[in-house]
Structures are given as C-alpha cells and as structure tokens.
Amino acid sequence: MKVIIQRVSHADVTVEGKTTGEIEKGFMILFGAHKDDTDADCEKLADKVSKLRIFSDENGKTNLSINDVGGDILAVSQFTLLADCSHGNRPSFLGAGDPGEAKRLYELFMQKCAEKINGKVEGGVFGAEMRVSLVNEGPFTIYMECKNGEILA
C-alpha cells in the first residue's frame, strides 16, 4: 500500500463537474492498493497518518499532528502509484490490486482515518476520472509505503 500525503490549505476533487470531496487545512492523500495489501496495512497507515507531525507549532517547528491543528483529510484512490517503470517506457500496473479489493481497501483506509482524526474525511469516486485541485503548503509532501502491517518508507 502506498500513499502520498500533501499538507494543504485547500483541496477538492470533482467528478463530471460535481465536487465529491473538499477540505481546507489538512492532508490531501493519494492512495494506491497493491495486490497483496491487507486490512492491517490500512490500519497501520491510518494510525501513522493521524500521528504524523508535519504542521508547524508556534516556534515554526513541524511538531503538530492533524488532530492538533483540527485538520481534515481528502483521500483519492490512485492505482497509478503502483506503476512499475523499471522496464521500457510504458508503465506496468500488474502490481495494482484487483479493482474490487482495492476499492474495499480504499474505503477501509478512509474509515480508519475517520476513526483516528477529529476532522472530517472526504474522498473521490473510486475508478472515476477525477479532477484534483490543491494548495500544497510548504510545499510539504510525504511518501509512505506499508506492507504486511509495517511501514517501509
């Protein structure tokens, strides 16, 4: 399971011109499920996301979590995070999860995040063509990967 976390002051996602998710201060998260991912990976990543201290405190140090600042999460499924570009020039997506299972894991990840943060958790539409807009603050972008319930990166 892979996620890209961006600290944002605003983010939204639209499908066919309709906004399906919108937040102000918080995390814009791109989520990709690998074919071998499990519920434990969702739990571990959601826990880590809720405790990640990348918001500035009164001294300008990145010392505050999303709960400390009253932030929200916008999570968007993105199977392209599982791209393998090691051979040739066309990415392979053989490592991406089965769409049905990947959707279940995406929804479970959002549910686990909602259980762990005080703010709201919104999302896109799994498998849809989406337009994502955001204002990345910092910019601050974090990559995390989880496998077998353990954070790898």
Residues classed as catalytic: 78-80
Reduce the DSSP state of residue 150 to 3 states and report it: strand
In degrees, to the nearest 5, what angle opens at C-alpha 49 toward C-alphas 11 and 22? Answer: 20
| Closest by CA position to 31, among listed 95, 109, 133, 100 | 109
Dihedral of alpha carbons 121, 60, 141, 32, sign: negative
139 vs 153: CA distance, rounded Å: 19
Residue with tokens 């063509």: 129
Helix (H, G, I), strand (E, B) or coil at 113: helix
Residue 75's H or E segment, with its range, is strand 72-77
* Tokens read off for 94: 């053989």
